[in-house]
Amino acid sequence: MAGAEVRNRWWYFGSFMTSPRTILITGASSGIGAALATAYAREQVTLVLMGRNEDRLSHVSSVCRDKGACVVKAVHDIADTDGFLDALSELDRHWCFDLVIFNAGVGDTRAPLQQTEAPQQVVRLLDINLRGPAAGASLIAERMIARGEGGAIAMISSVAAFVPLPMAAGYAASKAGLNAFALSLNAALREHGIAVSVICPGYVDTPMSARLNTFKPFQIKPEAAASAIMACIASKRALAIIPFQYAAACFILKFVPAGLAVWLSSKFSLDASPYGAAGQPERVTAGTADSSSAQVDIR
């Protein structure tokens, strides 16, 4: 490859990180995903917004269109992994994404009076928070490599990846797995000019955290989380913990022996309102969203 072409490609890789043109965001119908969609929305940007709840997705889409973006709505349930991968493949074939943000996720805790989460609950958490995004990131990585134009993949994890959570072992495991996957993928994709970032927020004021009946230190607004996540993606951070107070706490935790961390966390208790309780988000079951085929609406 000629020197000038190499320089142009590097210029291209560097520039689209700060202003990607075609972006897919999963979990764009609410919370952090909706804030990311709104923050990335502008003229000459195509946003593919994925979620299960069509009404919420439509609301976010219209806000993004008002800011000048071209918006594609994709209603899909990530728990249906095969259908999700088919939808991703079809969408990427059409839009050739510069940036894909795997943000969708569910949080859950063990039921009151139970010592562990139900087995089905653990399977569901791992399917939505880890299996779907990891398989999806592999698919997108393969396609970006084949195009040879670089790209960026971001995965929204959690500080729950770093601490034992007796009331939410499935959630903690899904996020720890996501971190391990994203860091390995990062190492694998470097030579292809594809940046992989995994971003671990502390508490963010969204419907997910509203379900948690607990004190939420250093909680930030979804807009603040979105702008920190965008900065991490633009600077190709491999792993970031936001806000900085949680980064400092996770750094200190590295020096705490595992036995002590487990003992301390066993003293900590937290429970979540069931999905659909007053004022809380409805859990959308596989029967509510069309899990047999992706519904895509391009406007």
Ligand X SMILES: NC(=O)c1ccc[n+]([C@@H]2O[C@H](COP(=O)([O-])OP(=O)(O)OC[C@H]3O[C@@H](n4cnc5c(N)ncnc54)[C@H](OP(=O)(O)O)[C@@H]3O)[C@@H](O)[C@H]2O)c1
83 interacts with ligand X by CB under 6 A: no
Q: Choose which of 206, 237, 240, 272 interacts with ligand X (CB under 6 A).
A: 206
The minimum distance between CB 58 and ligand X, in angstroms, equals 11
Q: What burial letters (b/e) apply to 259-280, b meaning 16+ CB within 10 Å? A: eeeeeeeeeeeebbeebeeeee
**Of residues 36 and 194, the one with the C-beta less far from ligand X:** 36
Q: Which of 236, 248, 289, 295 is nearest to 90 (CA)?
A: 295
284 interacts with ligand X by CB under 6 A: yes
The residues pairing with 155 across neighbouring beta strands, listed in sequence order, are 102, 198
Give whole-number Cα distances, 164 to 103, 171, 173, 210, in Å: 22, 10, 9, 21
Give catalytic status of residue 246 as yes or no: no
Q: What share of the chain is helix, strand, coil (3-state, %, to 5)?
A: 50, 15, 35
38 interacts with ligand X by CB under 6 A: no
197 interacts with ligand X by CB under 6 A: no
**Inter-residue contact 187 to 140 (CB < 8 Å):** no
What binding mask, one character per residue, do residues 89-128 give for ligand X by CB under 6 A, x or -?
A: --------------xxxxx--------------------x
13 interacts with ligand X by CB under 6 A: no
In the set 12, 40, 171, 203, the catalytic residue is 171
What binding mask, one character per residue, do residues 123-162 give for ligand X by CB under 6 A, x or -?
A: -----x---------------------------x-x----
**Inter-residue contact 288 to 294 (CB < 8 Å):** no
What binding mask, one character per residue, do residues 58-77 give for ligand X by CB under 6 A, x or -?
A: -------------------x
For residues 267 and 221, what is the distance between their CA atoms, to the nearest angstrom?
28
53 interacts with ligand X by CB under 6 A: yes
For residues 171 and 121, what is the distance between their CA atoms, to the nearest angstrom?
10
The structure tokens listed for 34 are 């909706």
Which parts of this chain interact with ligand X (CB under 6 A)? 27-33, 51-53, 56, 77-79, 103-107, 128, 156, 158, 201, 203-204, 206-209, 281, 284
Catalytic residue ranges:
171
